A and B are shown apart, each in its own frame.
Chain A
């Protein structure tokens, strides 16, 4: 907690003049539009093309959806089974991410005082799962927790526990891919907050744990909430690591994305219906977060 960064007021009196607007020619009005400047027409065209790349697939999904059969499709037994499994596993994964990820975010925020190599290592450890293809995560999880894995062998021999291809494996895969979202959301909120209130709390007799519990957590609560929502959404959509590490057993590991992929071979309408369901969740999350929290999330 850098007490040293506490600013003195009017420290600028002895400082060199701020580099600002040129003294001679000034814009007539300082409207928001004037500050943004004018955009070349070519950029506008390319930007619209980019928008099309992002939106057209979703438009196709909505246009080609079997709207008439939709109620029957999304309430069919296999879809409901996959939906239930997805909701349960993503919820558990989010709770696990909260329990593990918030302390990690605090550690990351405190690592500002640590030596640079350690700090970079810590940050890389959180970032890599974010950049990794989820399938690679699934293979890595197999090598750790599989029957002959680094820990999995010992778990099987000593305790008779096998993790792969269980509902537990689905949760682990989801935690692996979604925790970085939570960690970076909370860390972003921490670094954006005025942490000096923690010092104020300490002078009022609050122990480190009390400061964390009664000041720091409420301070970053919006970041924690935003992180949890992103985390849940990512867990709900998890496919690559899940199918690699947990497989596709109906009712056990066949989550919505896995079910959708498999249905594409046998019953495309069902696949589209599930895809719409997942799209609806994404839109709901967007509406929930709006602009309030997303800009603060550095993921």
Chain B
């Protein structure tokens, strides 16, 4: 990693009618939770960071590497960003086995099939999905798919990790266990992490929380700050509901 390794920038991204403006500075090893109601623009921010959506204005850097700069038009393609994403509905490759899903990034980078698969098996062991390697991903349960998606993203050895509602599609029973596991993976990840969620319990994984409402950051701080002094009716309502 070059420079300070921070994911930092001030930018605007647009999806449909909603323009989202945000100011980011996430240090390596730190986790920011983007917290807010559905439709607030949380996923839009992730898409912009991953390079799947152009910036409307502003700039984004990773260490001393410019990921996107709207004023100069410099844009790094998603495949060159080294930004790993766990998508909300996982988006596993249905035509590949679980093992080959996790081996995908390594294969694309030119590693041999054998080396890629061996590395994939190690990642699957690490997320507790070692027994699923030969299975078909779309036949797995939501929790199993989530583990595979985490392994696939981490196996690419990204510099940044983006998690888009990684727990929201799961049943309540498995959610608690998977949240704990996810927190372990996030702690073990060396780069900056951004976690998108609309659940306060999930936001507890993060070091810092930014509340996003209608494309605007309405509050920033630790989860305790939010609990102590909710800045908006939305945060207040959730804090009370959780208490």
Binding site for B on A (CB under 8 A): 1, 3-4, 6, 8-11, 13-14, 194, 196-197, 199-208, 210, 214-215, 218-219, 221
Contact = CB atoms under 8 A, between A and B. Distances in A.
Contact of B38 (A11, A196, A197): A11
A207 B79 contact: yes
Interface of B: 15-16, 38-39, 43, 47, 50-53, 77-79, 81-85, 87-88, 91-96, 104-105, 107-109, 152-153, 156, 165, 168
B104 A202 contact: no
B169 to A, nearest CB: 8
Contact of B52 (A8, A10, A199, A206): A199
Contacts of A204: 79, 84, 104-105, 108, 152-153, 156
Given A3-B53, A201-B104, 7 more contacts: A11-B39, A202-B52, A202-B78, A208-B79, A210-B79, A210-B108, A218-B96
Contacts of B78: 199, 202-203
A8 B18 CA distance: 13
9 contacts: A3-B15, A4-B53, A8-B38, A200-B87, A202-B52, A202-B79, A214-B108, A215-B93, A219-B95
Contacts of B52: 1, 3, 199, 202-203
Contact of A206 (B43, B85, B96, B108): B108
Nearest to B78: A202
Q: Do most interface residues of chain B lie in helix, strand or loop, or is the interface mixed?
A: loop
A285 B180 CA distance: 53
A202 B77 contact: yes
A200 B96 CA distance: 14
A208 B105 CA distance: 14
A203 B83 contact: yes
Contacts of A14: 39
A210 B85 CA distance: 18
B104 A206 contact: yes
A194 B81 CA distance: 23
A209 to B, nearest CB: 10
B50 A203 contact: yes
B18 to A, nearest CB: 10
B91 A9 contact: no
Given A4-B15, A8-B39, A197 B91 contact: yes
Nearest to A200: B91
B181 to A, nearest CB: 21
A221 B94 CA distance: 12
Nearest to B82: A205
Given A3-B15, A4-B15, A196-B87, A206 B53 contact: no
B219 to A, nearest CB: 21
Nearest to A203: B85
B79 A206 contact: yes
Given A205-B105, A210-B108, A214-B108, A13 B83 contact: no
Contacts of A215: 93
A188 B214 CA distance: 36
Contacts of A4: 15-16, 53
Contacts of B77: 202
A194 to B, nearest CB: 8
A9 B85 CA distance: 18
Listed residue (A10, A204, A207) with the most chain B CB atoms within 10 angstroms of its CB: A204
B43 A8 contact: yes
Contacts of B84: 203-204
A205 B16 contact: no
A205 B109 contact: yes
Contacts of A196: 87, 91
B144 to A, nearest CB: 17
A200 B78 CA distance: 9
A215 B165 CA distance: 24
A200 to B, nearest CB: 4
Nearest to B50: A203
Contacts of A210: 79, 108
A9 B38 contact: yes
Contacts of B168: 9
A208 B43 CA distance: 23
A13 B82 CA distance: 35
A120 to B, nearest CB: 25
Contact of A205 (B79, B87, B94, B96): B79
A-B pairs, top 9 by smallest CB distance, nearest first, are A218-B95, A202-B78, A200-B91, A204-B105, A206-B108, A3-B52, A4-B15, A203-B85, A3-B53
Contacts of A206: 79, 104-105, 108
B38 A200 contact: no
A11 B153 CA distance: 27
A141 to B, nearest CB: 38
B15 A197 contact: no
A13 B38 contact: yes
Nearest to B165: A9
A202 to B, nearest CB: 4
Contacts of A3: 15, 47, 52-53
